[in-house]
């Protein structure tokens, strides 16, 4: 944390940024890589590691979240067997690939409902659901409220924070 604090304090001394920020950045990276998650981060950075290949699959899912997901195709893109892909994917995300896609869809839907004031039905279809009823059920399970009520609550909280 000390290196982060020193880095942030550079904002008060802009003339020091060019000289000191690379040193602080290097220290921060060193500390992160030596920390409890350093091994996983180093493995992600290795281009042919299983985690790096799962990371690519995660990027594909996040980019194409509304498209139907074929785990076999993702496993093939990651150059793994389906069972190995499932095992590594779950180790990285704590979700199966389909559960992860569902979570990404629901998070995107929440954003659409709040930011664009879209209807629940059109949002469901926009994020790749084929049934608005199933969407509402999944949404309520994850966020604790049906989509329209959750969006209204979030908007009320935002309005209250602005006042």
pLDDT band at 48 (very low <50, low <70, confident <90, very high): confident
Domain final position from 94, 122, 137: 94
**Domain CATH code at residue 114:** 1.10.10.60
Its pTM surpasses 0.85: no
Is the torsion defined by CA of 62, 63, 65, 71 positive or negative? negative
Question: Do residues 132 and 115 share a domain?
Answer: yes
Which residue segment(s) compose the domain that 154 sits in? 102-162
* The two three-digit tokens of residue 8, written as one number: 């942030």
Q: Which of 59, 50, 129 is nearest to 87 (CA)?
A: 50
Question: Do residues 116 and 85 share a domain?
Answer: no
pLDDT band at 161 (very low <50, low <70, confident <90, very high): confident
Is the torsion defined by CA of 117, 120, 121, 126 positive or negative? positive
**Residue 57 pLDDT:** 93
pLDDT band at 156 (very low <50, low <70, confident <90, very high): very high
Q: Give the largest Cα separation in the chain, rounded.
A: 58
Total of domains in the chain: 3
Between CA 65 and CA 53 the distance in angstroms is 18
């Amino acid at each position: 944390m000390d290196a982060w604090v020193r880095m942030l304090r550079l904002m008060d001394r802009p003339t020091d940024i060019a000289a000191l920020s690379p040193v602080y950045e290097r220290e921060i990276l060193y500390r992160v890589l030596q920390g409890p998650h350093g091994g996983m981060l180093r493995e992600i950075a290795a281009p042919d590691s299983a985690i790096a290949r799962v990371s690519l699959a995660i990027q594909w899912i996040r980019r194409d979240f509304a498209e139907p997901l074929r785990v076999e195709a993702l496993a093939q893109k990651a150059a793994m067997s389906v069972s190995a892909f499932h095992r590594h994917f779950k180790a990285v995300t704590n979700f199966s690939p389909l559960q992860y896609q569902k979570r990404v869809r629901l998070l995107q839907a929440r954003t659409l409902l709040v930011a664009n004031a879209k209807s629940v039905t059109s949002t469901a279809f926009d994020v790749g659901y084929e049934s608005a009823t199933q969407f509402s059920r999944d949404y309520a399970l994850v966020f604790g409220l049906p989509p329209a009520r959750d969006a209204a609550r979030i908007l009320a909280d935002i309005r209250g924070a602005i006042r």
